[in-house]
Structure 1
Amino acid sequence: MSPCQSCGACCATYRVSFPRFELDDMPGGAVPEALVESAGAQLVCMRGTGAAPARCVALRGSIGQSVSCAIYEFRPSACRDFAPLAAVGRGDEACNDARRRHGLAPLVPVAA
């Protein structure tokens, strides 16, 4: 099992912002429009991530135990690009910072 499936800290720490063209009401878009809110003229963010404490509306489960994304196949680029090696146990600075904020041990650091 990927460390991400028992973590979810990134989804409950950071604002998940991305371009409007990724929404499912746009040609080629896939992120459900009902799950976002405006974050500027050309940006939206996942509901729940624009305020403190942050928690993405698509996050299911308990942080640090067992989590999943309700829209995994349709998740925005910000999620697809975040900590690309975390799934194999290697955490970058943002990943490990989110884990620390939720009382979780850091993953093996990615070499700079």
Structure 2
Amino acid sequence: MDCQRCGACCAHYRVSFYWAEGNDAPGGHVPVELTERLTPHLRCMRGTSSDSPHCAALRGEVGVSVGCTIYTQRPSTCHDVQVGDAQCLKARAHHGIT
């Protein structure tokens, strides 16, 4: 299952990244209105720093059909997760997706 149908990672992990990836920093690209401050140096995607994470940029139904509303502007953390890697499989298992 590809990421556009799955979305489990976006609804399982905190998506944290270096603050300068935000579009309020020179060269930044992640829309800051969709982020929260974690520390002076880290931000996270809004909605992912909770007991039931769900990224504010994720639309659709996890495991059925989803899409990232900021796909081309997503943080480096999102680029790092690959379909079928350990993080992906853990998130899928959590959501009952095989």
TM range (shorter): over 0.9
Is 1:30 the counterpart of 2:29 in the alignment?
yes
What is the TM-score with the length of structure 1 in the denominator? 0.85
**1:45 Cα offset (Å):** 0.2
**1:41 Cα offset (Å):** 1.5
Give RMSD over aligned pairs.
0.9
Q: How far apart in 2 are the matches of 1:32 and 1:43?
A: 14
Q: Which amino acid aligns with 2:71?
A: Y
Could you tell me which residue of structure 2 aligns to residue 13 of structure 1? 12
Is 1:103 the counterpart of 2:92 in the alignment?
no
**1:49 Cα offset (Å):** 0.2
Greater relative contact order structure (CA < 8 Å, 6+ sep)? 2
Could you tell me which residue of structure 1 aligns to residue 79 of structure 2? 80
Q: How far apart in 2 are the matches of 1:55 and 1:94?
A: 16
State how many pairs are aligned: 98
Structure 2 gap ranges (5+): none
SS in 2 for 1:5: coil
SS in 2 for 1:18: strand
Q: Which amino acid aligns with 1:23?
A: G
Could you tell me which residue of structure 2 aligns to residue 55 of structure 1? 54
Is 1:43 the counterpart of 2:42 in the alignment?
yes
SS in 1 for 2:4: helix
Structure 1 gap ranges (5+): 106-112
Question: CA-to-partner distance for each residue in 1:51-106, whole Å, 9 max, x for gaps?
Answer: 011000000000000000000010000001112xx1xxxx111110000000000x
What is the TM-score with the length of structure 2 in the denominator? 0.97
